Structure 1
Amino acid sequence: MDSLSELVRLLAPSGTVDLHCRVAGAWSAHNAQAAPGHVPYHVILDGRAEVLFGKEALWVSAGDVLLFPHGAAHTIVGVKGRARRAAESRSFNGVITEITVAGAAAPLDILCGTFVLGNSADILLRSLPEVLCVTTAPRDADTASHDSDWLRGLIGMMHVEADRPQPGGAAIIADLSTALFTILLRTLIARGSVAQGLLALMADARMAQAVDAVVRAPEQPWSVDRLAAVCNVSRATLARRFAQLGGITPLELVTTLRMERAARLLRQDELPAATVGERCGYASQAAFGRVFKQHFGMGPGAYRRRHREQRSVAPDTP
């Protein structure tokens, strides 16, 4: 399995599409700060919009996909004007909530949703900017043109399913939005669109070899020297590039991936904690337990018990 596929499996993303907005009158919508691990996104199907976040503003147009990696509060302004805000109608079509605002201006057509990531979200989201904009419009000499085609195709299918509800539509949109998350990551890596973080390391030809090696087999006895050899660079170069691009050390990446594998095994299997530790590269249960507690704030046994309790009450929780 390639490193991006393994990373997505680790993150266990799920996607939702919550709103389909068609607005041609004076309209704006504020999005509050999202919960940790929740990444709001907006797909501009047609028209233009201004997005305000913090003290910054960004104009987006048809074919753009906006991501808010840290769930930052933001406001989308569809149509400006001195006129009184137009009446907004809402209706649930069986799959998605539709918002319509009538008016004479050029309409804005937008899908709004959220990507929900697993416990490992921080490894991906760390060092990412407040907002990322991925354009799906064709570009000359686009090295990621194939992914742009995929993005447009996926968005088109999501649009059709949201616009013309049919049996199974909600499940199809959920799966398409999860696939959209992976394609967006692949496009960001291929275009080198991210200056810092794990995606920046994966976009660097040499550092990507170290990331790939660790993601594939975090349980191996990795050292800085061994990872430097994988990349065919010096130990100092590896450490410097990881700090510059990723904002982490090579061994921090190893520990994080080991801990996330351990957490997944504890949630899914009945393996003894010592066996889980061995499978994640720890020779002793004590060493494994110490690192696990530093990472999650509780020991492996307590973590497993808490997950069982959460799972047992989940079906009855509103």
Structure 2
Amino acid sequence: MDTLSDFVRLLDPSGTVDLQCRVAGAWSAHNEQAAPGHVPYHVILDGKAELTVGKERMRLVAGDVLLFPHGAAHTMRAMHRGARRAPTLNFNGVVTEVRVEGAAEPLNILCGTFILSPSSTLLLRTLPEYLHVPTASAAEREHAGNGEAGWLRGLIGMMHAEADTPRPGSAAIVADLSTALFTVLMRTIMSRGGVAHSLFALMGDARLAPAIEAIVRAPELAWTLEDIAAACNMSRATLARHFSQVGGITPLELVTTLRMERAARLLREGNLSAAAVAEQCGYASQAAFGRLFAQHFGVAPGAFRRAERDRRAAAAGAV
């Protein structure tokens, strides 16, 4: 399995499409801070819009995809002027349709959420508040290659078609396509190299790729700086300097982060004792493992497991 596939497996994403907004008049919608592990996204299908995140503003056009790795609060706004009209809402069996009538060129947006493992914040922590992935402009197609942009446009087009005209199975198809969209977006972000100081930048760096692949695949091994440098045919000093410049973290910080993510997943999904989880994550001392885990998650391993069980039980009861 390749490194990106291993990385996506760690994040364990599932996707939803929640809204389809068709707006031909004045309109704006504010999105509050999302829960940990929830990554909102928007796909501009047609028209133009404006995004506000904190003090930043960005103009958006058809084909743009936006992701919010930390669930940042943000506002989407149509570029139409005039008096506001109350939107009408209708659930069509797949998504909730939000319509605002008007005479302007329609703005059409798909809005959804990628739901990741609760410990995903460790792996995404160095990403910016939002990621902007254009898929339609000629400049982006030339830079990223027609294949990558084509994949994204194809996936988005299928999601649009299934959400727009629901048929038997459309809800399941849209859910699966939105999950696939997450992986294709991650691959596009990595291939474009536009996100510095992140795990994506590390995976996309040709010199560091052999070490990143080995660490992601087996973080529980007793990694040393010498081992990691040898995997890249670098000296320790060169590795440490280049790793920090590209990824914004040290090699051993990455090892610890991946170990903690694995520990969280084992505690969440299985019945292993804390001692067994510590061993599977590369720690001979349960006490040392417990201290590190508490530093990363704010609670001890046992409390984390109980909280996850309560969360799943509450989610199941709400269905």
State the AA in 2 paired with 1:50. Answer: E
What CA distance in whole angstroms lies between the structure 1 residues aligned with 2:306 and 2:100? 49
State the AA in 1 paired with 2:295. Answer: Q
Q: Residue 307 and residue 109 in structure 1: after superposition, are their counterparts in 2 closer, same or farther (change >3 A)?
A: closer
Corresponding pairs, count: 317
Q: Residue 120 and residue 110 in structure 1: after superposition, are their counterparts in 2 closer, same or farther (change >3 A)?
A: same
Q: Residue 54 and residue 294 in structure 1: after superposition, are their counterparts in 2 closer, same or farther (change >3 A)?
A: closer
Residue equivalent to 1:13: 13
Residue 63 (1) aligns with residue 63 (2): yes
State the AA in 1 paired with 2:19. Answer: L
Residue equivalent to 2:54: 54
Q: Could you state the TM-score of these two structures normalised by the residue count of structure 1?
A: 0.92
Q: Residue 149 and residue 85 in structure 1: after superposition, are their counterparts in 2 closer, same or farther (change >3 A)?
A: same
The DSSP-based 3-state class of the residue aligned with 2:195 is coil
How do residues 194-273 of structure 1 correspond to structure 2 at under 5 angstroms?
194-273=195-274
User: Does the CA contact (< 8 Å) of 1:144 and 1:191 recur in 2?
Assistant: no
Residue equivalent to 1:132: 131
State the AA in 2 paired with 1:215. Answer: V
Q: Residue 298 and residue 104 in structure 1: after superposition, are their counterparts in 2 closer, same or farther (change >3 A)?
A: closer
More divergent stretch after superposition (121-130 vs 193-202): 121-130
State the AA in 1 paired with 2:9. Answer: R
Q: Which runs of structure 1 show a deviation greater than 6 angstroms over 4 or more consecutive aligned residues? A: none
More divergent stretch after superposition (242-251 vs 215-224): 242-251
5+ residue gaps, structure 1, are none
State the AA in 2 paired with 1:78. Answer: A
Residue equivalent to 2:168: 167
Q: Residue 180 and residue 314 in structure 1: after superposition, are their counterparts in 2 closer, same or farther (change >3 A)?
A: same
The DSSP-based 3-state class of the residue aligned with 2:118 is coil
What CA distance in whole angstroms lies between the structure 1 residues aligned with 2:190 and 2:60? 21
Residue equivalent to 1:80: 80
How do residues 71-150 of structure 1 correspond to structure 2 at under 5 angstroms?
71-81=71-81, 83-137=82-136, 139=140, 141-150=142-151
User: Does the CA contact (< 8 Å) of 2:39 and 2:113 recur in 1?
Assistant: yes
Residue 39 (1) aligns with residue 73 (2): no
- C-alpha displacement at 1:182, in angstroms? 0.8
- C-alpha displacement at 1:313, in angstroms? 4.6
State the AA in 1 paired with 2:159. Answer: M
User: Does the CA contact (< 8 Å) of 1:144 and 1:187 recur in 2?
Assistant: no
User: Does the CA contact (< 8 Å) of 1:144 and 1:190 recur in 2?
Assistant: no
What CA distance in whole angstroms lies between the structure 2 residues aligned with 1:313 and 1:22? 34
5+ residue gaps, structure 2, are none
Alpha-carbon displacement from aligned partner over 1:105-126 (angstroms, at most 9, x marks no partner): 1111110111122123223322
Alpha-carbon displacement from aligned partner over 1:257-286 (angstroms, at most 9, x marks no partner): 112212222333333333332222223333
State the AA in 2 paired with 1:272. Answer: S
The DSSP-based 3-state class of the residue aligned with 2:202 is helix
State the AA in 1 paired with 2:128. Answer: P
User: Does the CA contact (< 8 Å) of 2:38 and 2:114 recur in 1?
Assistant: yes
User: Does the CA contact (< 8 Å) of 1:292 and 1:298 recur in 2?
Assistant: yes
What CA distance in whole angstroms lies between the structure 1 residues aligned with 2:297 and 2:126? 20
What CA distance in whole angstroms lies between the structure 1 residues aligned with 2:113 and 2:280? 33
Residue equivalent to 1:177: 178
Q: Residue 183 and residue 163 in structure 1: after superposition, are their counterparts in 2 closer, same or farther (change >3 A)?
A: same
What CA distance in whole angstroms lies between the structure 1 residues aligned with 2:70 and 2:285? 36
Identity of aligned residues (%): 65
User: Does the CA contact (< 8 Å) of 1:24 and 1:79 recur in 2?
Assistant: no
Residue equivalent to 1:292: 293
The DSSP-based 3-state class of the residue aligned with 2:183 is helix
What CA distance in whole angstroms lies between the structure 1 residues aligned with 2:310 and 2:73? 32
